[in-house]
Structure 1
Amino acid sequence: MSFALILACLWVLAAAIVAMLPMRHQYLPGVALLIAAPILIGVIWVQHGAWLGGVALFGFLSMFRRPLRYFYRRARGVPEAEARR
């Protein structure tokens, strides 16, 4: 197993541990995981190809779907009240 895949496994374990923390303690490690993920996915994509890179991307998107949806709406300028409908 390559070093990138070992790091990806550790990333998943870290994300699961962070998810168990109370919400007020999730922000800092959650942002660090959110920033590290695209770099790790890119390395996996380069080393192992599009198939495994796509699997890693799908896993990332499924774990961070709510924060990514929030950032997408914020970037588009959708008001919070409209986003809740």
Structure 2
Amino acid sequence: MPFAIVLLCLWVIAACIAGMTPQRYHWPAAWVLIGTGIPLLGLLTLSMGPVWGLIALAAGVSILRWPILRAGQRLAGLLAPADEREHPGE
């Protein structure tokens, strides 16, 4: 089994363990998982190819969905027209 797949499996186990910790540790754990997951995704894509890289990316996004959703909300808020930011919902 390729080394990158083994590392990816360990990353998934670490993400599951982080999800079982108290909620106050979720965001710091998410930042650590993102920081280690991006290079791991690059290593996997380099060694196994883009199909496996996309599969791993989908797995990572499904595990870390809240940071992705919050970043999307923040980006949508920045891209919204100025009048809509001042008077939301009108």
Q: TM-score, normalised by structure 1?
A: 0.82
Q: CA deviation at 1:40?
A: 0.7
Kindly indicate whether structure 1 or structure 2 has the higher relative contact order, using CA contacts under 8 Å at least 6 residues apart: 2
Q: Name 1:8's counterpart in structure 2.
A: 8
User: Which amino acid counterpart does residue 24 of structure 1 have in structure 2?
Assistant: R
Confirm whether residue 68 of structure 1 aligns to residue 68 of structure 2. Answer: yes
Identity over aligned residues, as a percent?
32
The alignment's C-alpha RMSD in Å is 1.7
Is 24-33 or 48-57 further displaced after alignment? 24-33
Q: Name 1:19's counterpart in structure 2.
A: 19
SS in 2 for 1:77: helix
Q: CA deviation at 1:39?
A: 1.2
Structure with the greater alpha carbon radius of gyration: 2
Question: Runs of at least 4 residues of structure 1 off by over 6 A?
Answer: none
Looking at structure 1, the residues matched to 73 and 35 of structure 2 have their Cα atoms a distance apart, in angstroms, of: 18
User: Which amino acid counterpart does residue 59 of structure 2 have in structure 1?
Assistant: G
Looking at structure 1, the residues matched to 51 and 40 of structure 2 have their Cα atoms a distance apart, in angstroms, of: 15
Which residues of structure 1 form unaligned runs of 5+? none
Q: Name 1:39's counterpart in structure 2.
A: 39
Q: TM-score, normalised by structure 2?
A: 0.78
Which residues of structure 2 form unaligned runs of 5+? 79-84
